[in-house]
Structure 1
Amino acid sequence: MNKTVVSVSFALLLSTVHIVICQDSEWGTNDYIEYQVGTTGTKIILTSSHGGHLRPESIPERDHGCFIADVCVYSHFCSPKDELNCRAVVIPDAHTLELTGTIADAMQNITGQRPHVILNHLHRGKLDANREIEQAAFGVPEAETAWREFHEFIERAQATVGTGLLVDIHGHGHPEPWLEIGYLFSGLDLDLNDIDPARSSIYHLSTQVNVPFDDLLRGAESLGGRCEAAGYIAVPAPDYPGPDGGNYFTGGYITRRHGSRDQGTIDAIQIESPRFLRDMWEDYGSDLAVIILNFYQRWYT
């Protein structure tokens, strides 16, 4: 894929000085959840929930839930299992932990500030931290503790940041080669131009800038627009304002809970990357760092 260089106004990007990457990590119970505390003054939070590798035998493998009285019940002891209505995804988002770390390192090299980073090191078959606790942990206390610690670390970072941007890093397995940038709008919403800012995970940002919301969502200076300028295909963005009926993830539990749709002054955006880009996470992650920083500098400073 041919890429053009994104122009940024960060003078440090042009410097040949290499900053020594250092981080202050706090760990949850059993070292399942890691919180890399950001540099004082940073306003960016990165999260990764589906790239973990740990598979302790003390936590049973998640399976599908049961559809009982028109409600999904997620338990290892319910029966019969219903994959159609109550599916539990256990396939990890490969290389998203590495990708998230690369983004954080590159941001620190560029700006001198390291973002807050929250990582789930449990395999998705043990915990899905991007779901409600019932579906995430299947009632297993050890997994529930990790789930709570993951979201508590995010809330601690949010309290420190005050006003800023959370970027949730994921990977998709769709045939489309694009980045799926989630703001809580469905693909159909984007295709039909049904984009009320109050329903988005960047609602707070929309109240702070005097531009049409469409510019924030898929204009040239949107996150998708920045991706296009760097040579990537993204949805939503100027060239692809919607998926046009194609596959697209809208944003998940992290984006809903920790974004600004319902409350707060921290916006959240989910980035779903195709596998071939995640496989070259070092180069791609460095590009994403510049893209996110450009977006942040344009709208948050």
Structure 2
Amino acid sequence: MIRRDPRSVVRTALGILTILGAVGCGGASEGDAPTAPTNPTIPTTPTAPLPEADWVDTIDGEIPLVIIAPHGGDLAPAELPDRVCSGCITGNDLNTQALARTISDAFSGRIGKRPYLVINRLQRRKFDANRDVQEATAGYAPLAPMWTKFQGAIDSAKVRARRLHPRILVIDLHGHGHTIQRLELGYQLSASELRLTDASLAPYVAMSSVAELGRVAVSRDSAAALIRGPCSLGSHFAALGIPAVPSEPEPAPLAGQDYFNGGFNTVRHGSSNAGPSDAIQVESHYTGLRDTASNRAGFAEVFVTAALAFLRDHYGWVPA
């Protein structure tokens, strides 16, 4: 799969410097091969105004965390054409909407406060909420306002969170169908970059979706430690019994192993351009985490513990 990387030009320069001196497709899921009707008919105008307000759910929060669930939509309105485009992925990330809601409830139950939550309700065959507007809508212009509304809801959540906190974290929640049952945490760092030494990895972290956090984290951790050190998000998950990559036990995917490193949302809402919000894509495996309500509830408790530790370590935030 070809992955678009907006940092490719800069990375080429870095690669040359390394030699001289030395995307992720978020949320591809179980059975997510592109599917499309044999002879699709794509209307140019809707027969009635599209009710895009009904296709985005938001829950207000109080903590410096925004969780977005773009690929767990449960609605497939007949008035919307199925997406047809080269390389389109149309399979949902199973149960990720339910998982996001369960995580929100787990925060509330644990600390009496919630993260900000933004959920896309449309199935992925109708709309992809982790792509640019053209690919998200497959060129169906009447659906473009939905893209604006979804991204605007995330922006609004970030603004509201920033009124309470100087720095915030955005988690883009997905589900993968890869063979290895572990979390894949995406920072816009490729698998080959993660396999570099800590010193060689550092300049890439400086262009990642947590770039600014690497400069201002209260932990003063090194760039590589922020990604895979003992206080990294992956290491917190691993310490709680959920394998994750990158982390201290698994600092990088091995050559040939599947790995999602982040997508459109981590680029747009991360801090590669020195913004006040960092972003991490969390790709969860299915069995034992997303497959049943009981397992989702169990993972939600682990998620809360890991996220609170990460916010404490690097953002200096603890529940009042």
Q: Could you tell me the TM-score, scaled by structure 1's length?
A: 0.81
Asked if the contact 2:61/2:161 (under 8 Å) is kept, the reply is no
In the alignment, which residue of structure 1 is the partner of 2:40? none
Measured after TM superposition, the shift of residue 30 of structure 1 is 4.5
**CA distances 1:17-66 after superposition (whole Å, capped 9, x unpaired):** xxxxxxxxxxx734001111113xx211000000001000111111233x
- Percent of aligned positions that are identical: 34
Which structure carries more strand by proportion?
A: 1
Asked if the contact 2:85/2:138 (under 8 Å) is kept, the reply is no
In 2, the alpha carbon distance for the partners of 1:255 and 1:172 equals 16
1:289 to 304, 310, 314: 304
Give the number of equivalent residue pairs.
251
**CA distances 1:178-218 after superposition (whole Å, capped 9, x unpaired):** 10000000111101245222211111211113221111100
In 2, the alpha carbon distance for the partners of 1:202 and 1:149 equals 25
Are 2:258 and 1:237 aligned?
A: no
In 2, the alpha carbon distance for the partners of 1:263 and 1:89 equals 31
In 2, the alpha carbon distance for the partners of 1:145 and 1:128 equals 13
Matched to 2:237, the amino acid is: C
Asked if the contact 1:107/1:290 (under 8 Å) is kept, the reply is no
In 1, the alpha carbon distance for the partners of 2:208 and 2:141 equals 33
2:77 to 56, 64, 77: 56
Asked if the contact 2:76/2:126 (under 8 Å) is kept, the reply is yes
Are 2:157 and 1:152 aligned?
A: no
In 1, the alpha carbon distance for the partners of 2:216 and 2:270 equals 15
In the alignment, which residue of structure 2 is the partner of 1:5? none
CA RMSD of aligned residues (A): 1.3
Secondary structure of the structure 2 residue equivalent to 1:289: helix
In 1, the alpha carbon distance for the partners of 2:160 and 2:298 equals 30
In 2, the alpha carbon distance for the partners of 1:142 and 1:233 equals 42
In 2, the alpha carbon distance for the partners of 1:232 and 1:47 equals 21
Matches within 5 A, 1:203-282: 203-209=211-217, 210-245=220-255, 246-276=257-287, 277-279=289-291, 280-282=295-297
Q: Could you tell me the TM-score, scaled by structure 2's length?
A: 0.76
Give the unaligned 5+ runs of structure 2.
1-50
Secondary structure of the structure 2 residue equivalent to 1:90: coil
In 2, the alpha carbon distance for the partners of 1:251 and 1:292 equals 18
Give the unaligned 5+ runs of structure 1.
1-27, 66-86
Asked if the contact 2:181/2:285 (under 8 Å) is kept, the reply is yes
